[in-house]
Each structure stands twice: as C-alpha cells, then as structure tokens.
Amino acid sequence: MTDDLTRLPGAEIARKVRKGELSAAAAAEAFLGRAERLGPKLNTWIRLDREGALRAARAVDEAVAARKDPGPLAGVPVGVKDLVDMAGLPTTAGSKIDRDRIAREDAPIVRRLRAAGAVILGKLNLHEYAYGPTGHNIHYGDMKNPWNPARVTGGSSGGSGNAVATGQAAFAIGSDTGGSIRIPASLCGVVGHKPTFGLVSKAGCVPLSWSLDTMGPLALTAEDCALAMSVLAGHDPEDPSSVSGEPPRFMDGLGAPLRGLRVGHARRYYADRSEPEVAEAVERVAKALAEAGARVEEVEIPDQELATGANTALMISEAAAFHEKNVRERPGDFDPRVLDRIRPGLFVTATEYLQARRFRGEWAARVAREVFGRVDALLSAATPITAPPIAEDTAPLRGRKLAVRGLLVSLTRLWNFFGGPSVAFPVGSSQEGLPIGAQLMGAPFSDARLLAAVHQLERMGAVAPRRAPFEE
C-alpha cells in the first residue's frame, strides 16, 4: 500500500488530502520509507528530516480535520536541493566547506512551500556548489541514475532528479544556472521547469552565478510542475532580481490547447550535434505538435557562439567572486574538478565582464524580435546524449569523443543567458533503456503556456511520464 501512495502525482495527493481521503501523515510515511530504502543506494539525500516532515504532515491533517484550508500543496511530500536554507538544518551546498553551516531561517521559497501545506522531507544531494552538470560529488557520493546506476543523473540537481524518478519525493526543488534542472530531468526521465529569471525568489539560496541562477521544480508531470510554480512564483523583496507584478496563473492555463500554438523547431540548434536516437525522438514530438494543430516551422537562434562565450564569461566570473576567499584559503577542501572550474573566473577582466553584460542585452533583444516575433515556443532536445557512465569524462557522439560536461550543457545554457523559461520533458527511451529528453523554450513570462503545452502532449500520449523501475 505504501508504494502505491508513492505512485500518486503530487496534484492527486493534494486533492485526496484536502478531501480527507488520504492523510498527509500516511503519505509522508510512504515517501519517507521509500527515501530511506532507496536514497542510500542512489546517493539521493544529504539529510532526511523525518521528525520535521511528520510534524508538518500532522499539522496538515489537523487543519483538514478542523475544516481549515491546508493549502494547495496539502500533504505533498517535497525534497529541497541542499543549497536552499531551512531553519535549524545545515545548508551544505554539496560541499565539505559548508558542511556545518546551520541556516538561521527558512529561505522565502521554503516559507512559501510550508505555507501551502507541503511536507518537506529533507535536503537533496547535488554537484558541489551546483557547479557541474553530471551529479558527481566526492563528499556525499555520486548521484546515480535510477534507470542504470552506473550512469550519471545529470546535475547539478542530481538528487532532485533521481528522487522524483523513483518516488522518493512527489516533486523536488532544484536550481538551474546552465541546465541544472533540465539536464537531470532529461537524463532521469522527469519533467523539469526552469522559470523565467526573477520569477522565483533566490533569497536564502547559495548562488552559483547571480545573473543566471533560477530556482524551480522537477516532477513526474507538467501538472505537478505547474502546481509547484503556482506556489513558488511571485515577487520577493528579499531578492534584488525578483520581478514585480502578478505571476502567471499556472493551474488555470493548463487546459490551453495546442491548436494555433506557433512552435519554432530549432532543428539546426540540436539535430546534427545530438545522438540520432535523440534527434529522432524530438522529430516525433514536432510531428505530434503539428498533428494537434500547432503551427510548426523551422527557426534559427542567432549568434549562438558569441552568446555562449559571453554566457561563460558571466558565469565563471560571478562564481569566482562568490568563492574567492575559500579558493585562496581552503583550496584543498574543494572537489578538484570544481576548483578547476572556479579558478579561471578569477582572471576575467572587468572589461570582459561588462562587455558580456552589454552583449547579453543586445542578444536577448534580438532573440525576442527575430525568434519570438514569429513563434510562441522553441522545440529542441534537452540534452544531446542520454546518461553517460559515471566513470567516463568523454562520450562518443557521431564518431567523435567529446567532453561529457560540455555536451550536457550545450543545449540548455543559452536559455539562462536569455532569461526565458524552458521545460524539459521525457520523449522516449534509447535502445539501452535510458530516457531521452526534449525541451520547450519560451520568451520571458511564457512559463504557464509552456507547461500547458507539455501537459497537452502528456494527455495525447506523446509524452509518457513513468517512474523508474528501480528496485520495484
């Protein structure tokens, strides 16, 4: 019975709890039991908070019994990436350096989750300081892909990806600076939403790159991501980059039809630099969209190489600025691979940084004009390859051996630079049985429309979410 509960989507759990058909405590026990059994085998969690989770679940049940509104996430078991502050618990950011840094208060997004009735199970594993796309972590264990534990989860939100894929959490909070929500979503076979920059507060979250970071959900379905976003989105005065105004109405918009949606198929962006199986799977999505009445046309993304270079200059310099003191005083406490990524940022000049920021504004305006003047969304692969082996730094692609790290971020990072939303979602499996992911990318504040499109693809069967059969 308990494993049956962990198969329920988060939206269904909330509905049942609100109606009194399911107790939040029973749901919490079911997910905690699964997390305690599977988490150590997949290196999913840095810390489970059984006591805190059950206390929150009992509070939800008491509210239901008293006929009080428990909130839209009533009893939904959630995991939080361990770079988000939760009062009284360490925020390790996946590092040795911050292993004992205890948060004094909840981050605003944690406060939003709690106020909405979510039951937070604990802190999820991640690539150290969110600085890596694979999910390796020498301090807390490499995160393992539940479809094949010898493969990577993707990163940096690897614990978030394998938690959702295995029913250890109904949904999870991740961060995305260059693909860290969408990469594990793609490799683990779940849905991951990178919101519009500034739509979700980053206050109380350890940064990687202030001007590129976003926080968002991973879940089994687009509806669950929309439900999470309906709680997470909104202005926060504690976050200087937080946008003002009313957030999108995520749940109200889920029924928006695909007919008439203008979709740009960014074929030249991904097809020739992706595995043939990946390219073929995305082509099938393009055909499904057209058959559903969407207007699909090929679209080019301008100046990709220049944008990639400018994006790199921003990310590495901002990461180096944040970590400079520890790089100089405690270099031996970093994962050497992460340290090697931070150090080059110390040598980016102020001129290079400012030129990158200037170009970003010009490029974003050009994309808005030339791309989103024609279409409502862009379709692409999310990752050009399926999950590579944990032990390998390179992967074969169309007859060449290429660096895994570069491959995994190659199709996601530009959307952090642009600042618009992107949703990664599963579109099939490779011959090896590994998930294949696509993504829909949009203009700023088109988040709800993208999630609605993925939801409609799920209803059609073109996207078929399923839990990984790990230790069933």
Q: What distances in angstroms separate CA 304 from CA 61, 268, 269, 300, 391, one per listed residue? A: 51, 11, 9, 10, 30
Residue with tokens 């504004």: 361
CB of 226 closer than 8 Å to CB of 251: yes
CA-based nearest residue to 62, from 43, 46, 48, 75: 75
* H runs (alpha helix) in 66-176: 108-115, 158-165
Q: Are strands 422-429 and 435-441 parallel, antiparallel or unpaired?
A: antiparallel
CA distance 289 to 105: 45
CA distance 45 to 388: 21
CB of 384 closer than 8 Å to CB of 399: no
Phi-psi region of 142 (alpha: psi -120 to 50; beta: other; left: phi over 0): beta
CA distance 56 to 397: 47
CA-based nearest residue to 424, from 157, 108, 93: 157
Residue 158: its H or E element: helix 158-165
Q: Name residues whose C-beta falls within 8 Å of residue 33's C-beta, 6 or more positions apart in sequence.
A: 2
For residue 156, whether the previous peptide bond is cis, meaning omega lies within 30 degrees of 0, is: yes
**Residues recognised as catalytic:** 81, 156, 180
CA distance 451 to 171: 15
**Residues 165, 84, 120: CA angle, nearest 5 degrees:** 55
DSSP label at residue 7 = T
Report the length, in residues, of the chain: 472
